Amino acid sequence: MSDALLVIDPQNDFCEGGRLAVAGGAGIMPLINRLSARFDRVIVTQDWHTPDQISFASNHPGAAPFTEIEVAYGRQMLWPDHCLQGTPGADFHPDAAPTVEKAMAVIRKGYNPAVDSYSGFFENDHRTPTGLGGLLRELGVKRVFLCGLAFDYCVRFTAEDAIREGFEAVVITDASRAIAPQTEAAAQDSFRALGVAEIAAASLLS
């Protein structure tokens, strides 16, 4: 009863055919559904951007996606426009429907145009909370398991913030997918340094 499953951004734009597709993104949805069936407490996060989001390369003339700029809160990666509020790209992938239907809460993030948000706990200024931490504490959760998209960004930063907020954090590696090998390796290095555990889904499903 002190565990929760955090399913990170299982959205159309992060799956094949989406604006910021992660290779193999759609393929993990059936496994995520099997995992969510094993948890009493399931919470889903959802990117929920406005067209003027600061992290969109289209809002910075001459800037290209996947380059970085300096903003008020530090370095910010620029992305293709994605997960725009009310668009099909922001919708949850249909194959994740059983998990979304079971979820007790959906935490929307990245809706402030002046600040991007990777973590399910805080916006990228590392100060503005989403409310997830308070919800988990009210529920008596002490350990969170994480899966979803993408391993090297939103899963990573949510897991790191979970540790900083006093929770145990366990990332289910085969129920997540990364954008790039280099940032995937950086996430794994960070997990080892902070004490984030990595496991395979089979250890929870057997």
Mean pLDDT of 33-45: 97
Q: Of the residues 15, 81, 83, 109, which is catalytic?
A: 109
Query: Is 9 an active-site residue?
Result: yes
Average pLDDT, the chain: 97
- CA geometry: angle at 48 spanning 136 and 144, to 5°? 25
**Which residue is associated with the tokens 């429907």?**
97
Indicate the pLDDT class of residue 51, thresholds 50, 70 and 90.
Answer: very high
Residues 6+ apart with CB under 8 A from 182: none
Rounded distance between C-alpha atoms, residue 59 and residue 52, angstroms: 7
Note the pLDDT tens digit of each residue in 129-164.
Answer: 999 999 999 999 999 999 999 999 999 999 999 999
- Helix crossing, 181-194 with 156-164: angle to 10°? 10
Q: 168 pLDDT exceeds 90?
A: yes
pLDDT at 1: 86
Rounded distance between C-alpha atoms, residue 120 and residue 101, angstroms: 19
Mean pLDDT of 44-54: 97
pLDDT at 131: 95
Q: Of the residues 47, 83, 154, 161, which is catalytic?
A: 154
Q: Select from 152, 136, 135 the least CA-distant residue to 144.
A: 136
pTM of the model: 0.95
Decide: residue 95, CB within 10 A, 0-12 exposed, 13-18 middle, 19+ buried. middle
Query: Is 109 an active-site residue?
Result: yes
Mean pLDDT of 49-77: 95
Note the pLDDT tens digit of each residue in 84-127.
Answer: 999 999 999 999 999 999 999 999 999 999 999 999 999 999 99
Per DSSP, the three-state class of 162 is helix
Q: How many CB atoms lie within 10 A of CB 203?
A: 9
pLDDT at 206: 79
Mean pLDDT of 21-30: 97
Note the pLDDT tens digit of each residue in 56-66.
Answer: 999 999 999 99
Mean pLDDT of 20-26: 97
Q: Of the residues 9, 47, 116, 152, which is catalytic?
A: 9
